[in-house]
Amino acid sequence: MKRKFNYPNVTNVAQILLDRNYSDIEHIVKNRLKTAPQFIDKIELEAELKGHNGCVNCLEWSTNGRILASASDDFHVMLWDPFTHKQILDLVTPHDGNIFSVKFLPKQNDSIVLTGAGDCKMYVFDINRGNDVPIRKCTCHSQRIKRLATTPKLTQIFWSAAEDGRVLQHDMRTTHTCRANDANVLINLKNHINEMPEVKCIAINPHRPEQMAIGANDCYARIYDRRMLSLMKYSTVVDSKPNEHDTDNVRCVQYYCPGHLSRNKGTVYSIFNQKAITYLTFSPDGSELLVNMASEQIYLYDLNHPREPVFLKLPKFTEPINGTNGTTVKNGEKIKHKLPPEVEHMKKEGNANLEKEKYLQAIQQYTLAIRKAQEKDCSVLYLNRATALMKRNWFGDVYAAVRDCQRALRLDPHYVKAHFRLARALLKLGQLQDASECLAELIKRFPSYAKNHGVLMLNKDIEAELEKQRQRQRERPQESDADQYSMNELTWRAAALDYQDRFVGHLNTKTDIKEANYFGDANYIVAGSDDGNFFVWERDSGMISAIYQADELIVNCVQPHPYECLLATSGIDHEVRLWSPQMREEIPVKHRLDVVDGTVNENQNRMQSDPFDSLAPDQAMCRAS
């Protein structure tokens, strides 16, 4: 494909956009609807940007939002005007591997473009020069480069993350000779992990650029304080036994991981549901980290109010004076009081859906009821939601049920059913000792339940699983982690913090570049999916707001515009698609799905099965991404 300009006799592309008369476009921009719920409901396909001849693996908005960059398996980077839907530039790169990341260096009016690819090479281009010759090249990485990172607060520095387990720091103010004496290795996971670590993604906190988050081919999101790291020379980096180079500052990093995955670190997953982080990003205000995990869900971590994983932490037990399980204690007797009518209706709707095994709807109704009810009324709602989560049993559901049982008990320490259900959830989660202790505490606190049939059967189930565990340990003693991880790595993993919220429904098993991002001033979460759709969730409730069909096979990239209610998506198809609120009478609903429950259920069922069963030939071609 030849280099193509839509603006003859001019080579300074960035200046074109700065000098143009934007009065008409400004009028359009001002009339773009903000991301209030009633406008999110009106999102539809605005335009398709055609030009690539391969899967479009990455999208990036310029700092000012006037340029959209896309990069593809065809080794081309294309720059687009998102308001006129015109191609500005077709940049033919020297890459001979799929381009996985494209970034604007936030300097010189976004005229510097960075690329990283599957050929292990990274290039820097100045689009104002009017040619395809890179101004900088780096071949230091020994495996595929998956992501690049920049920050507006540091306009001369950027970072590359690759499957060789390394993060490199690049400074445009200095010359660079690959694999020589340059000290440009910032992070090397091989110094702590002896099982082929791969860095899959990277992000910089927009308000605290010293904070760098990376995701790897495991379930741990890592946030480093770059001020505590020293750049290493490539030639001196140790890649052998992890304990031999264990000199890093133990306080330089904090790990984040869903509790059920951090506790079950010894769990062996099949090759078809390996846990890896495909994308992570900080919230616009830098207070949260959003993580999209392969063969799992999307998790949100609160950085300002971190939480420890919770399994068995029963509240202090005293004789009841006032109950919160929808009851009032009078003369030693519990008298049930009614929930507010609207909350009671939501609860009944949830119960009806639970009986019909419509678990998604049941969970949504209980969630709405919890948001509407006063805190003192919520214990029964949390417990009912825990029941629905355990019955649904998607990835992470049982641990979410454990957390709900704990919430119910914090509100009402005398809630017998909450004790019982917590013990059962811990058993189902594989936390056998905790389950045994929880059940024992139930009997101690409520002696009249010692001979209860349900309690006796649960105790029998726990003892049977404990005996199986003891038998396995006799037959196959557990291997020590000391041979696989450095002492620092073990310390970091043991201190991993738990998630605040999660978002379920999409499918992320077939590619390792699937994104998840904040949308609408962080009021919504958006992500692509293996079913060819992209999902929109309400940030506060975690419920699905809408699902849109955006690709024939897989949506990998969903990039919101930095200022407007505008989304760009891409995936296996060769087109880039733009989405914005549209007037229904002018553009009918074509891409928004009517059946949400069926789509979500099918995705979650597929997540726990072999993803290659339905892999089409053209999908297999893009599987490397």
Over residues 215-259, the pLDDT tens digits come to: 999 999 999 999 999 998 876 665 555 654 555 678 999 999 999
pTM value > 0.75: yes
CA distance 556 to 533: 9
What residue ranges define each of the domains in the chain, with the CATH number in brackets? 140-309+496-504 (2.130.10.10), 341-475 (1.25.40.10)
Does the pLDDT of residue 623 top 70, yes or no? no
Q: What pLDDT does 110 receive?
A: 84
Helix (H, G, I), strand (E, B) or coil at 15: helix
580 falls in which pLDDT band (50, 70, 90)?
very high
Does the pLDDT of residue 4 top 70, yes or no? no
30 falls in which pLDDT band (50, 70, 90)?
very low
CA distance 113 to 97: 17
Instruction: Name 537's bridge partners.
Output: 525, 544
Helix (H, G, I), strand (E, B) or coil at 574: coil
CA 616 to chain centre: 26
Exposure of 374 by Cβ count < 10 A (0-12 exposed, 13-18 middle, 19+ buried)?
exposed
CA distance 218 to 529: 20
Contact status, residue 202 vs residue 212, Cβ threshold 8 Å: yes
Contact status, residue 556 vs residue 625, Cβ threshold 8 Å: yes
Q: What pLDDT does 271 receive?
A: 43
Q: Which of 201, 392, 396 lies closest to 298, judged by CA? A: 396
11 falls in which pLDDT band (50, 70, 90)?
low
Low-confidence winner among 408-412, 510-514, 573-577, 615-619 (lowest mean pLDDT): 615-619
The upper half-sphere exposure of residue 501, i.e. CA atoms within 13 Å in the direction of its Cβ, equals 16
CA distance 418 to 421: 5
Extract the tokens encoding 383. Answer: 């417990």
Does the pLDDT of residue 323 top 70, yes or no? no
Helix (H, G, I), strand (E, B) or coil at 372: helix
Helix (H, G, I), strand (E, B) or coil at 585: coil
CA 225 to chain centre: 21
Does the pLDDT of residue 620 top 60, yes or no? no
Does the pLDDT of residue 105 top 60, yes or no? yes
Does the pLDDT of residue 28 top 60, yes or no? no
Helix (H, G, I), strand (E, B) or coil at 485: strand
pLDDT tens digit sequence for 307-317: 999 899 888 87
Helix (H, G, I), strand (E, B) or coil at 152: coil
Q: What angle do CA 280, 281, 284 make, to 5 degrees?
A: 165
CA distance 31 to 327: 52
Burial 54-77 (b: 16+ CB within 10 A, else e): bbbbbbbbbbebbbbbbbbbbbbb
Q: Which of 117, 459, 507 lies closest to 297, judged by CA? A: 507
The DSSP string of 232-262 is EEGGG---S-GGGG--S-GGGEEEE--HHHH
CA 414 to chain centre: 36
List, in order, residues 6 or more apart from 438 with CB less than 8 Å away: 312, 314, 419, 422, 423, 426
> Among all chains, which residue has been given the structure tokens 């392969």?
294
Q: What pLDDT does 238 receive?
A: 58
Does the pLDDT of residue 125 top 60, yes or no? yes
598 falls in which pLDDT band (50, 70, 90)?
very high
How many angstroms separate the Cα of 445 from the Cα of each of 158, 177, 319, 414, 419? 58, 69, 10, 9, 10
Extract the tokens encoding 111. Answer: 């005229």
CA distance 246 to 25: 56
Q: What pLDDT does 433 receive?
A: 95
Higher pLDDT, 30 or 294: 294
The whole-chain average pLDDT of the chain stands at: 87
**How crowded is residue 548: how many other Cβ atoms within 10 Å of its Cβ?**
24
- What DSSP designation does 508 have? -
> Among all chains, which residue has been given the structure tokens 């398996």?
73
Average pLDDT over residues 508-536: 95
17 falls in which pLDDT band (50, 70, 90)?
low
pLDDT tens digit sequence for 52-66: 999 999 999 999 999
Average pLDDT over residues 136-156: 95
CA 571 to chain centre: 17
| Long-range contacts at 290-293 (CB < 8 A, ≥ 24 apart) | 290/516, 290/517, 290/518, 290/525, 291/215, 291/221, 291/256, 291/516, 292/508, 292/514, 292/515, 292/516, 292/527, 293/219, 293/258, 293/508
Extract the tokens encoding 161. Answer: 């993350």
Q: Which of 429, 602, 593 lies closest to 505, judged by CA? A: 602
Contact status, residue 246 vs residue 488, Cβ threshold 8 Å: yes
> Among all chains, which residue has been given the structure tokens 């006032």?
322
Q: What pLDDT does 5 receive?
A: 43
CA distance 600 to 590: 19
**How crowded is residue 272: how many other Cβ atoms within 10 Å of its Cβ?**
14
List, in order, residues 6 or more apart from 171 with CB less than 8 Å away: 156, 157
366 falls in which pLDDT band (50, 70, 90)?
very high
Does the pLDDT of residue 197 top 80, yes or no? yes
Q: What pLDDT does 511 receive?
A: 94
The upper half-sphere exposure of residue 167, i.e. CA atoms within 13 Å in the direction of its Cβ, equals 27
| SS3 of 110-140 | HCEEEEEECCCCEEEEEHHHCCCCCCEEECC
